[in-house]
């Protein structure tokens, strides 16, 4: 009885925790399949490297796992992608709000442009809602990868999504191009995408 | 059974030690639980304090999980450890909780690879329980965790959605891999501890045995030490004796060769220790005056390894002989073998010389004593005989006077007258006037001769008695040196009459009155007649002499007898000169006399005679001119064994 008394909250808590960790964010809708300067003004076509558009919440602890996973994947990348990191910023605060250890870590991922996404406009434009969403566009601007690279919310480690992500970075093709995203909501569903 | 008892004791000790060890590990695990709880909270608070929805933030579920699940896990483990500290289930609970903590921490850390090592670290930590079974429990928990999450949330475990449902087995296998090393280690450690317990018990037994032996040995050593101390003290005393005694002490080996001599030996013989070591005493201490028989005795004793005591003549270094008492004793070892002899020689030359001188002096003393005794006996004989001779002389004088005045002369005249008138005797008788008187004359002469004869006969009887008494005196004096018993039953009155008869003439001559006051209860006495007669004659004669010498007008001797305490007291009382106080002290001494012509022997010998009769002689007097009384005290029933010679003591 005592065991049950103690273990029940443990089991329930662990179950809830697992359920929480494995609960992906809402699937992205209408992600642009072709990257153009209209979609991404800062973008320009590169001859030999892909473009990564990364949406994140600068204070989301779950995205830290995405970044750490990404850091490990870089070791196996053969090309240096151009990264555009859109950091969510509430509309009523300045850009300093996006500065965090997560943003600092992202800047170290390579050729990164951190762009404060005031009010989540870019997220809406790309149709993503969850922090940690990555979009990989090929050298021709074609969408090659959409989704997260962690296997659970805030859970770093190897995953098939990560493998697919790095293959696309390495300009290789993968069978699956859309993956679930585990992270905090950048834009709530109620707010609409 | 000792073996079963040993196993039971080992199990008990192991259980006790293991429980102590578990208690220690429980305390350690308690800190681990608290630490994990704090670590989980820190993880959650630091890594994922909030979850965000746009610009809105909420407490991250990890924080709540760390707080609630961590509290439940650690609390459950702590509570169980406190509730059942010695139960095996507690260790399993700790193991299960620890694995759940691993799962939680991995989750809270976002699956950081470092936290996966918590599983392996936990297994290692759990192994300090030395219970391989809890590692199995831990493994099962890990396997179940992976299995459940692999089935229901494979992404959380394996990162892919299409992972094989058996992937959890791989993860569990990694855990089993570590357990495969840890479990035998636990078993081996547990077994080693068990072996240590067994060894500890053996050591305790051995220690107990050793302690007992040590205690026993210590006690024995203590006893031995005390004994040794006593022996040492005794030996030191003996050494002092051996070293400083005036006697010579020798220690020889079994062959009688000298190993050590003391200073006494050097003083007596003149030989120093270094001069005699290795020599035999027989070879240099003996000489011409040494008795060959003694030498042979010593030689035989040495040969047969026995002790001996001899008295012989030894020779000093300068050749001077000396008498020595030798005592030699064999010293045996634990096996009874004679290893040494110890000899003690006492120089007894002075003693021997003294003994010889003593013997010589004793012999001389004997000779002198014999001569003195002979003189005393002679004196006594002569004195007593002299006393009797007075009476003999009186009797002889009486007879001589009787003979000188005898009527025999008158008878001779008648005979001559008859011879003259033989032829005419008839006419002469009938006609002559002288002749007519002859018949009556003869008749008167005859009558006178008859009276003379009677007187002479009476004197001869007294003379015969006195001579017989003289003979008895001589016989008695001759037998004085011998112990003899001449006791006989005597009528006291007769004895007194005999003594008076011996002094009859003197008493009659001096008209001394004799009064007898005799107790009828002591009419008969058993004693030596002649000793008592000698005493009485002496006392009566002394009384007569005292009264004659003092010129008493009406001299009187009273002889009185009475019984006192089984004793006869016979008193001779006179009213003569008396005895002074000073003379009373010495009157019984030999040679002491108050008479001008005395010899000082009569009272001395009388006192001795009274002592020989078992009694005593005492003198009483109030001084000069008051008369004197002599009491002879005799036992009424003297001992039958003979006359005891007692020391005489005179009293006043």
- Condensed to tens digits (0 to 9), the pLDDT of residues B161-176 reads 545 566 677 777 888 8
Provide mean pLDDT across the span B385-401: 80
Distance, in angstroms, between B36 CA and closest chain A CA?
Answer: 15
DSSP of B264-326, one letter per residue?
A: HHHHHH---HHHHTT--HHHHS--TTS-HHHHHHHHHHHHTT--EEEEEEEE-TTS-EEEEEE
Q: What is the pLDDT of residue A53?
A: 93
Provide mean pLDDT across the span B261-289: 90
pLDDT at A189 over 70: no
Size of interface A-B (CB pairs under 8 A): 133
CA distances from B250 to B83, B255, B280, B281, B334 (A): 88, 13, 11, 9, 22
Cβ contact, residue pair A159, B159, below 8 Å: yes
| The model's pTM | 0.49
Q: What is the pLDDT of residues B522-558, one digit of tens each?
A: 788 888 887 888 899 889 988 988 888 888 888 999 9
Provide mean pLDDT across the span A37-58: 80
Instruction: For chain B, say whether A101 makes contact (Cβ under 8 Å).
Output: no
Which residue of B155, B158, B168 to mutate against A (max A Cβ within 10 Å)?
B155
Provide mean pLDDT across the span B404-416: 80
Provide mean pLDDT across the span B16-44: 90
Q: What is the pLDDT of residue B390?
A: 77
Distance, in angstroms, between B109 CA and closest chain A CA?
Answer: 8
What average pLDDT is seen over chain A?
A: 86
pLDDT at A67 over 90: yes
| Nearest residue on chain A to B101, alpha-carbon basis | A10
Q: What is the pLDDT of residue B646?
A: 36
Query: Which residues have a Cβ under 8 Å from the Cβ of B380 and sit 6 or more positions away?
Result: B477, B480, B601, B605
Q: What is the pLDDT of residue A54?
A: 94
Cβ contact, residue pair A57, B152, below 8 Å: no
User: Across-strand partners of B561?
Assistant: B570
Smallest Cβ–Cβ distance between B155 and the set A22, A64, A187 belongs to: A22
Which residue of A3, A9, A21 to mutate against B (max B Cβ within 10 Å)?
A21
Eight-state DSSP code of residue A178: B
Distance, in angstroms, between B124 CA and closest chain A CA?
Answer: 24
- Region of B254 (left: φ > 0; alpha: ψ -120 to 50; beta: rest) is alpha
Q: Check: CB of residue B63 under 8 Å from CB of residue B45.
A: yes
Q: What is the pLDDT of residue A102?
A: 93
Provide mean pLDDT across the span B24-35: 93
Q: What is the pLDDT of residue A36?
A: 79
What average pLDDT is seen over chain B?
A: 83
Q: What is the pLDDT of residues B422-433, one digit of tens each?
A: 888 888 888 888
Instruction: For chain B, say whether A102 makes contact (Cβ under 8 Å).
Output: no
pLDDT at A191 over 70: no
Q: What is the pLDDT of residue B638?
A: 63
Provide mean pLDDT across the span B288-295: 88
Distance, in angstroms, between A46 CA and closest chain B CA?
Answer: 32
Provide mean pLDDT across the span B292-304: 89
Alpha-helical regions (H) of B111-166: 113-126, 132-152, 154-158
Q: What is the pLDDT of residues B114-158, one digit of tens each?
A: 888 888 899 999 988 888 889 988 888 888 887 777 777 665 544
Instruction: For chain B, say whether A87 makes contact (Cβ under 8 Å).
Output: no
Q: How many CB atoms are located within 10 Å of the residue A99 CB?
A: 14
Provide mean pLDDT across the span A51-63: 92
pLDDT at B641 over 50: no
Q: What is the pLDDT of residues B37-67, one digit of tens each?
A: 998 898 888 888 888 888 888 898 889 988 9
Cβ contact, residue pair B110, A154, below 8 Å: yes
Q: Which pLDDT band holds residue A132 (cuts at 50, 70, 90)?
A: very high
Provide mean pLDDT across the span B364-381: 73
Nearest CA to B438 among B429, B447, B446? B429
CA distances from B563 to B379, B636, B646 (A): 33, 8, 22
Nearest CA to B39 among B74, B77, B78, B5? B74
Residue with tokens 């209860």: B521
pLDDT at B268 over 70: yes
Q: What is the pLDDT of residue B573?
A: 94
Q: Check: CB of residue B308 under 8 Å from CB of residue B298.
A: yes
Q: Which pLDDT band holds residue A188 (cuts at 50, 70, 90)?
A: low
Q: How much of chain B exceeds pLDDT 70, in percent?
A: 92
Q: Check: CB of residue B306 under 8 Å from CB of residue B272.
A: no
* Greater pLDDT, A106 or A156: A106
Q: What is the pLDDT of residue B652?
A: 31
Q: How much of chain B exceeds pLDDT 90, in percent?
A: 16
Instruction: For chain A, say whether B110 makes contact (Cβ under 8 Å).
Output: yes
């Amino acid at each position: 009885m005592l065991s049950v008394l103690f273990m029940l909250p443990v089991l329930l808590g662990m179950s809830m925790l697992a359920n929480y960790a494995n609960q992906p964010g809402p699937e992205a809708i209408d992600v642009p399949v072709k990257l153009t300067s209209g979609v991404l003004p800062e973008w320009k076509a590169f001859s030999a490297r892909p473009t990564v558009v990364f949406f994140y919440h600068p204070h989301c602890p779950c995205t830290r796992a995405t970044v750490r996973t990404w850091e490990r994947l870089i070791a196996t990348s053969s090309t240096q992608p151009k990264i555009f990191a859109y950091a969510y910023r509430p509309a009523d605060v300045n850009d300093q709000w996006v500065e965090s250890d997560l943003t600092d870590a992202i800047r170290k991922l390579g050729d990164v442009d951190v762009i404060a996404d005031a009010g989540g406009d870019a997220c809406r434009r790309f149709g993503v809602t969850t922090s940690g969403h990555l979009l990989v566009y090929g050298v021709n601007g074609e969408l090659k990868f959409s989704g997260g690279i962690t296997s659970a919310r805030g859970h770093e480690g190897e995953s098939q999504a990560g493998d697919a992500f790095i293959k696309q970075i390495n300009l290789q093709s993968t069978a699956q191009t859309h993956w679930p995203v585990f992270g905090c909501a950048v834009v709530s569903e109620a707010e609409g995408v | 059974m000792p073996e079963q008892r040993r196993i039971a004791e080992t199990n008990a000790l192991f259980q006790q030690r293991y429980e102590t060890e578990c208690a220690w590990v429980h305390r350690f695990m308690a800190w681990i639980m608290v630490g994990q709880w704090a670590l989980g909270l820190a993880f959650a608070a630091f890594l994922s304090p909030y979850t965000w929805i746009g610009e809105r933030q909420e407490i991250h579920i990890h924080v709540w999980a760390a707080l609630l699940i961590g509290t439940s896990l650690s609390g459950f483990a702590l509570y169980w450890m406190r509730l059942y500290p010695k139960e095996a289930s507690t260790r399993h609970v700790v193991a299960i909780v620890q694995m759940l903590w691993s799962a939680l921490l991995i989750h809270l850390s976002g699956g950081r690879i470092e936290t996966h090592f918590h599983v392996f670290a936990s297994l290692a930590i759990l192994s300090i329980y030395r219970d391989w079974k809890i590692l199995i429990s831990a493994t099962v928990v890990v396997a179940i965790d992976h299995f459940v999450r692999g089935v229901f949330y494979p992404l959380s475990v394996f990162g892919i959605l299409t992972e094989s449902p058996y992937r959890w087995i791989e993860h569990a296998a990694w855990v089993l891999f570590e357990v495969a090393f840890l479990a035998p280690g636990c078993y081996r450690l547990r077994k080693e501890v068990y072996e240590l317990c067994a060894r500890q018990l053996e050591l305790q037994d051995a220690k107990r045995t050793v302690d007992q032996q040590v205690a026993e040995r210590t006690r024995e050593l203590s006893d031995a030490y005390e004994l040794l101390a006593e022996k040492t003290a005794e030996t030191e005393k003996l050494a002092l004796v051996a070293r400083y005694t005036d006697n010579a002490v020798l220690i020889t080996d079994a062959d009688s060769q000298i190993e050590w001599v003391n200073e006494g030996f050097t003083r007596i013989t003149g030989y120093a220790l270094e001069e005699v070591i290795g020599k035999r005493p027989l070879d240099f201490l003996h000489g011409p005056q040494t008795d060959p028989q003694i030498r042979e005795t010593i030689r035989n004793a040495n040969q047969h390894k026995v002790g001996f005591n001899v008295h012989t003549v030894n020779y000093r270094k300068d050749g001077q002989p000396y008498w020595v008492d030798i005592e030699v004793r064999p010293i045996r070892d634990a096996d009874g073998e004679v290893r040494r002899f110890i000899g003690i020689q006492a120089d007894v030359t002075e003693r021997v010389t003294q003994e010889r001188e003593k013997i010589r002096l004793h012999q001389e003393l004997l000779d002198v004593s014999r001569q003195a005794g002979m003189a005393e006996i002679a004196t006594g004989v002569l004195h007593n005989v002299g006393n009797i001779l007075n009476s003999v002389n009186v009797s002889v004088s009486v007879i001589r006077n009787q003979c000188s005045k005898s009527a025999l002369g008158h008878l001779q005249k008648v005979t001559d007258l008859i011879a003259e008138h033989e032829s005419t005797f008839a006419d002469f008788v009938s006609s002559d006037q002288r002749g007519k008187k002859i018949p009556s004359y003869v008749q008167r002469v005859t009558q006178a001769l008859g009276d003379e004869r009677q007187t002479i006969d009476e004197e001869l009887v007294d003379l015969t008695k006195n001579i017989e008494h003289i003979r008895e005196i001589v016989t008695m004096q001759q037998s004085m040196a011998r112990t003899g018993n001449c006791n006989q039953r005597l009528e006291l009155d007769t004895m007194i009459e005999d003594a008076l008869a011996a002094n009859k003439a003197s008493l009659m001559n001096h008209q001394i009155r004799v009064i007898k006051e005799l107790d009828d209860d002591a009419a008969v006495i058993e004693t030596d007649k002649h000793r008592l007669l000698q005493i009485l004659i002496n006392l009566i004669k002394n009384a007569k002499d005292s009264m004659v010498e003092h010129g008493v007008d009406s001299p009187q001797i009273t002889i009185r007898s009475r019984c006192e305490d089984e004793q006869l007291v016979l008193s001779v009382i006179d009213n003569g000169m008396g005895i002074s106080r000073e003379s009373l002290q010495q009157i019984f001494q030999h040679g002491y006399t108050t008479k001008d012509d005395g010899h000082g022997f009569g009272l001395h010998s009388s006192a001795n005679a009274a002592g020989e009769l078992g009694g005593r002689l005492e003198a009483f007097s109030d001084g000069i001119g008051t008369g004197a009384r002599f009491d002879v005290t005799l036992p009424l029933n003297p001992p039958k064994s003979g006359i005891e010679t007692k020391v005489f003591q005179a009293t006043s």
